[in-house]
Amino acid sequence: MFISESEVRAVLSYEALIPAIRAALVDYSAGRVEQPARMILRAGNAEGWRNGWFAVMPVIHGDVMGVKTVTFYPGNAELGLRTHMAVVEVLRRATGEPLAVMDGRLITEMRTAAVSAVAFGALAPLHFAEPPARLGILGSGVQARAHLQAFKRVWPKLGEVRGGIRIWSPTAANAEKLADEVGGRAGTIEDAAACQVVLTVTSAQKPLLEGRWLREDALVLAVGATGATVRELDDETMLSSFVVAESRSCVERESGDVRFSGAAVQAEIGEILADPGAVAIPRRRVLFKSVGMAIEDLTAARLVWEMVPRKERDTPKV
């Protein structure tokens, strides 16, 4: 069975995905997921930042197995093409039977935002004395929009305060466009960084966010700068923060922000989800870093696989 992106979009919702991702992250930190390091090959299609990469991400969890192949070609934006493309295969663990192959672009988009929503939902109540009212976003692309959709499910008051969403983008027109769409306000990077919660979803190669702009009690959700050799956060941001990761090993291996700053990962989000009292979340800056994991893709793909056949079965035949 091949499941297209349009079919994925028709059945996959944040209402179902966010709790599923939460459970999967708990299982990951508890050692119930078999997930080797992702293998990444450079495509050699161009020089410099336009050089794309190709990654293979296998995983086993519960009664299913999966593998995602994903490409990232930053130069595609100039061609009017998606920068990220992916395919996910789901297999039955007991027999090895292929169950479904599906387009993975939207799955990657949604699971990434769902992970941040889970992290926010776990960390914000432990970190802030009162619910935060302001979100600053660095970036204005696909992930900025996906995160706003996911945050609505875990942050009901987001956007209720006038100017509560502050947006900065390297391209000011893109920030203005997103701000108009969501009722936010476009402005300077310093303005966005001064919010209680700061989301970084950029394709930066070098640090953009400077720690001196952040509140002392900021919660930073760092998603962009994909790769072990690129960064979007400066050393002050990293070293002044209590760092929580979706996976210690993945972040220490694949995040340029962690590798080059020398920051220590203090906890995994799955540990906090399993026992909120197990880790003392300080009132000082807290930073959640994600790089994306195969277990998240398999979790989303399994939801899709379970829902698409049901939809087809329930459709009258004519």
| DSSP letter, residue 263 | P
Mean pLDDT of 79-101: 95
Tell me what the mean pLDDT of segment 121-142 comes to: 95
Give the pLDDT band (50/70/90) at residue 78.
confident
The first and second tokens of residue 23, run together, are 């459970």
pLDDT score of 314: 44
Structure confidence by residue, pLDDT tens digits, 174-228: 999 999 999 999 999 999 999 999 999 998 989 999 999 999 999 999 999 988 9
Residue 231, pLDDT score:
96
| Overall pTM surpassing 0.75 (yes/no) | yes
Domains, the chain, in order of start with CATH, read 2-107+295-314 (3.30.1780.10), 123-292 (3.40.50.720)
Residue 312 has pLDDT above 80, yes or no: no
Question: What torsion, rounded to 10 degrees, do the Cα atoms 188, 189, 191, 197 define?
Answer: 150
**Mean pLDDT to the nearest integer, 226-239:** 94
Query: What local confidence, expressed as pLDDT, does residue 137 receive?
Result: 98
Mean pLDDT throughout 154-160? Answer: 87
User: Distance between CA atoms of 62 and 11, rounded to whole angstroms?
Assistant: 22
Nearest residue to 121 via CA among 265, 241, 22: 22
Could you read off the pLDDT of 25-61 as tens digits, one per residue? 999 999 999 999 999 998 889 888 788 989 999 999 9
Pairing status of strand 165-168 against strand 39-42: unpaired
